[in-house]
Amino acid sequence: MSEQLTSLVNKMTLDEKIAQLIQLATPFYKGASNEGQITGPMAEMGITKDVIINSGSVLGASGAKTTKNIQKTHLKENRLGIPLLFMADIIHGYKTIFPVPLAIGCSWDLKLAERSAEIAAKEAAVSGVHVTFSPMVDLVRDPRWGRVMESTGEDPFLNSEYAKAFVRGYQGEDLTNDKNRVAACVKHFAAYGAPEGGRDYNTVDMSERQLREYYLPAYKAALDEGCEMVMTAFNILDGIPATGNKKLMRNILRGEWNFDGVMISDWGAVKEQIAHGFAADKKDAAQKALTAGVDIEMMTTCYVHHAKELIDEGLLDEAVVDEAVIRILELKDKLGLFENPTRAADEELEKEIVFSVSHRQAARELASKSSVLLKNDGVLPLQKDQKIALIGPFSENNDLLGPWSWIGSKEDAVTLSEGIQSKIDPSLLSIEKGSDVETITQSQIEKTLEAAANADVVVLALGEDSAMSGEAKSRADIRLPQAQLELIKALKPLGKPMAAVLFNGRPLDLHGVVDQADAVLEAWYPGSEAGSAVADLLYGDAVPSGRLTMSFPYSVGQVPVYYNCYNTGRPQTTPDAKGEYVSQYLDIPNEPLFPFGFGLSYTTFSYSDASLSSDVLKTDRPIQLTVDVTNTGDVKGEEVVQLYVRDITGEVVRPLKELKGFEKVSLEPGETKTISFTISEQQLRYYHPDLSFESDPGEFTAYIGPNSRDVTAHPFKLEK
């Protein structure tokens, strides 16, 4: 710590130190646009003027004028002139909204993911924000959970790669001097993405080996990339709330991983230790969270009301408070706030930068590359002289940003109808809502049938509204709402070619859609440029290249269903093994409807001449797997070449496949490229029963292909 910060801490009273540890929402601060609008639970927090004056950070303030006003007013009143940190949920864009993170994951494009974070940081920084609560790197396997849309999927390796890309985008190479960047906060530590039953905030219970093998790697990857902050999870882990989990935060995070940055609770999570049955009262909650290593308490008052009392009674060492304060002040110093408290906030530049044309174009490109073509029986791409009936509740609906778009405005979103109208003569397009998201009337059906009867192709715009995904939005039935399924069923007898476009935040059970429509395009929540990007794909001005990073279940009864599962002792060897005593369902397949890594294109690709450089891998001698990939179609396209490995026998049973590498390659029609992957001993390591992380000599199989299902096998041995 610098001499300046040491001197500052020595000047602070205990009350001033403790107040640095609370984060309050904007209504508490003078200069905020919603100043004084303290209602509901906030009104019952018992926040004094002194606490506000000495508080350390602000939640949810935005806009250069507002953040500058709050900061300047605060500095006039704060005795020691300690600036505030402004933090916010900038999950997939500030004002320019990119696709939701699950969609970004499906792009398999780390450079574009990094670019999206860089743009989000630039818009946020010029608007006065210093920290974003992103990336969310929770590994997810259960689409019932509403927050899967914030994750990049079910694979620890791929999630780790995206975690690093997002941190690079937000923070850049020099956070102190690059004022267009913001500090990143990885979340939710840890294993928040594994709630029982897919129900948000619910119990998480797993072995430590599983935690380390699958759930911790992406958090570690973000921190290795320099992520400045970590946010705790709402859930319990091994029976202890993450926010009071000393093993997680003191032993693993700070001990093993040497993280010395700021740890913040999620909203209200410190106090929620009481509801969990882990803390007796707010005083006990404060003692346990501080002891565990949580520096900032978000939107509850356990610290400011009880930390001093705990110290006076000898139940808490003041050094614990000091170390938390020091970490907070060091982050403020790294961001240059003591020299320039308003950092990059600039009203004039804000007008120029936020939601700029170039930013929107980047959002359009990523939305196009994030969409996944799940089915196409020759309907797509559409021809620009075809008569189109655009039907469905999302035909002219601008609810396309997703539930965590914050500053993003639905009114600014390009609708699908607007996107299509930009491509064709308006006289060729008829539009009918067909149904609402969850209800349908006979009158709507009649109008729909009339519009569709005169069309060459029906384009269905279907999905979930944004209130059906996100935090606290778990769903037990993950099919499309019944009204939309009835709409499809009503249209089917017309015999018109139907292409369904899906706007949603989770993998769905697509029965009633994929078996009725001739083409299915999964567009997710595409963001600000939704309609333009989807229209580009529908008309072939862009070629689908997205690949799933989360399996689509055949039925919710399979959930959780994921590609990197175990074989079991009685594996199902053939799909028609009914009556045999094997691991299977009697009424549905074991396999998902669409597997991890799957996605179609408007062209086709072939794989040939796959080979290993050697069938023996040694610790000091990696091997290479090469394969020729050819575009066998008529249009330029991008293929995601995927490498998987299986450890045949281990001290702990190993997954059937594990993603170890990928490359997204662009190919002209008829063009062939040779793709090469290196397989090293380090990639074969895993957590053993004693939690040692090492590889075992023996038999392995490498797999190469376009997804986790359609692969060719190449055996090799590891010798030590």
Q: Which residues are catalytic, by number?
A: 266
How many CA atoms are closer than 13 Å to the CA of 527, on its beta-carbon side? 34
CA contacts within 13 A on the Cβ side of 80 = 21
DSSP per residue over 410-441, as a string?
GGGSPPHHHHHHTTS-GGGEEEE--S-SS---
CA–CA separation, 595 and 591 (whole Å): 8
Crossing angle (nearest 10°) for helices 3-11 and 318-334: 130
Q: Which residues pair with 459 in a beta bridge?
A: 390, 499
Query: Whose structure tokens read 């009503």?
Result: 490
H or E element in which residue 91 lies: none
**Cα–Cα dist 382/253, whole Å:** 52
Q: What is the dihedral of CA 331, 336, 338, 343, to 10 degrees?
A: -110
Q: Positive or negative, the Cα torsion across 184, 189, 195, 201?
A: negative
Asked if residue 426 has a cis previous peptide bond (ω within 30° of 0), the answer is no
Tokens of 198: 């897919």
**By three-state DSSP, how is residue 77 classified?**
helix
Distance CA 607, CA 703 (A): 12
| SS3 of residue 616 by DSSP | strand
Cα–Cα distance, 338 to 291 (Å, whole number): 28
Residue 341 to residue 325: CA distance in whole angstroms: 18
User: What is the rounded CA–CA span in Å between residue 658 and residue 647?
Assistant: 9
DSSP string, 690-717: T--EE---EEEEEEEESSSSS-EEEEEE
Q: Which of 675, 672, 696, 692 is nearest to 684 (CA)?
A: 696
344: its two tokens: 């990059």
CA distance 91 to 124: 11
Question: Which residues are CB-contacts of 525 (< 8 A; sequence separation ≥ 6)?
Answer: 99, 100, 103, 149, 400, 401, 402, 403, 466, 469, 503, 504, 505
85-88 and 388-391: which strand pairing?
Answer: unpaired
**Token code pair at residue 22:** 């609370």
Q: Report residue 224 as tokens.
A: 């290795």
d(CA 683, CA 679): 7
Alpha helices by DSSP H, 252-356: 272-276, 282-292, 302-312, 318-334, 347-353
What residues contact 128, with CB distance under 8 A and at least 6 apart? 61, 62, 63, 64, 66, 67, 68, 71, 86, 342, 343, 344, 345
**Cα separation, 179 vs 91, whole angstroms:** 19
E strand or H helix at 376, and its extent?
strand 372-376
412 strand-pairing partners: none
Omega before 560 within 30 of 0, i.e. cis: yes
- Are 676 and 626 in contact, with CB atoms under 8 Å apart? yes
Q: How far is Cα 379 from Cα 26, in angstroms, rounded to an integer?
A: 51
Q: In whole angstroms, how large is the CA radius of gyration of the chain?
A: 26
Q: How many Å apart are CA 576 and CA 585, to the nearest integer?
A: 11
